[in-house]
């Protein structure tokens, strides 16, 4: 796991937990409380999670995908609809490519696995609240593998070497570490509009269609 910049550990983050395993929620609540966060609600299914977001408008929702009734993915889409400002951290056992891609397509800001260390999880949640995306290393590897196989199916020619300018390298590294356009702009002292132009240019150069694929490109090519 990696992050960008500094996240103020003194800020009390308001968190909703959504997981159908009560004992796991208890442990997670205790850990987050010890990290200075406030758990404002707990849900055992997706429908409850959406209701708690409407009620509390938390900073972060920590969401499992495998819940009974309303699934995590369905809840994710509804949460993003009712409260676009909330950051949704998927915390699950699945590193399956289809789940990862569906989660990011649905608006997840981070994708983490339940076997990660507690101290890393707390840091990841704070990064998510600061507008940064965090991916478990296994997830980044799975996405990279999917992109690689996709390229192999699409063409028999070797991947061409792409030359990025020093500024473009700065942008794609920050993008891969999860920074949004505003965060990249702050780090590099450039406007959000300029960042958007850089991202568009980078995607065209490396032959990808979006930010997640650009981030995976950066991981696969050792840029972060």
Please report, for the domain that includes residue 180, its CATH number: 1.10.10.10
The string of pLDDT tens digits covering residues 50-60 is 999 999 999 99
pLDDT of residue 152: 38
The string of pLDDT tens digits covering residues 23-43 is 999 999 999 999 899 999 999
Distance of alpha carbon 23 from alpha carbon 33, whole angstroms: 15
168 and 121 in a single domain? The answer is no
Q: Is 155 inside any structural domain?
A: no
136 and 49 in a single domain? The answer is yes
- Across the range 47-74, mean pLDDT stands at 93
Is 76's pLDDT higher than 90? yes
The string of pLDDT tens digits covering residues 82-110 is 998 899 999 999 888 778 878 877 888 88
The string of pLDDT tens digits covering residues 154-190 is 333 344 567 899 999 999 988 877 677 888 999 999 9
pLDDT of residue 96: 81
Distance of alpha carbon 127 from alpha carbon 118, whole angstroms: 14
Please report, for the domain that includes residue 52, its CATH number: 3.40.50.2300
Q: Is 177 inside any structural domain?
A: yes
- Across the range 199-223, mean pLDDT stands at 81
**Cβ contacts of residue 59 below 8 Å, gap of 6+?**
13, 14, 15, 86, 87, 129
Q: Is 127 inside any structural domain?
A: yes
User: How many domains are contained in the chain?
Assistant: 2
37 and 103 in a single domain? The answer is yes
pLDDT of residue 154: 37
CA atoms within 13 A on the CB side of 2: 15
Q: Is 40 inside any structural domain?
A: yes
CB 28 within 8 A of CB 17: yes
75 and 136 in a single domain? The answer is yes
Domain hosting residue 182, numbered range: 160-220
Q: Is 152 inside any structural domain?
A: no
């Amino acid at each position: 796991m990696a992050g960008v910049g500094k996240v103020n550990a003194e800020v009390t983050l308001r968190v909703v937990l959504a997981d159908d395993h009560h004992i796991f929620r208890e442990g997670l609540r205790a850990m987050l409380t010890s990290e200075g966060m406030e758990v404002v609600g707990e849900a055992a299914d997706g429908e409850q999670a959406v209701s708690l977001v409407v009620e509390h408008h938390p900073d972060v929702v920590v969401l499992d995908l495998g819940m009974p009734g309303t699934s995590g993915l369905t809840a994710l889409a509804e949460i993003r609809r009712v409260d676009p400002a909330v950051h949704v951290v998927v915390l699950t056992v699945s590193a399956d490519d289809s789940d990862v891609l569906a989660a990011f397509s649905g608006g997840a800001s981070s994708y983490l696995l339940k076997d990660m260390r507690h101290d890393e999880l707390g840091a990841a949640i704070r990064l998510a609240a600061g507008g940064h995306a965090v991916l478990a290393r296994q997830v980044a590897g799975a996405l990279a593998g999917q992109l690689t196989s996709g390229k192999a199916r699409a063409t028999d020619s070797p991947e061409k070497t792409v030359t990025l300018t020093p500024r473009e390298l700065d942008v794609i590294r920050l993008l891969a570490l999860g920074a949004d356009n505003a965060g990249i702009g702050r780090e590099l002292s450039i406007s959000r509009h300029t960042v958007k132009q850089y991202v568009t240019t980078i995607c065209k150069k490396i032959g990808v269609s979006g930010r997640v694929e650009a981030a995976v490109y950066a991981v696969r090519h050792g840029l972060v």
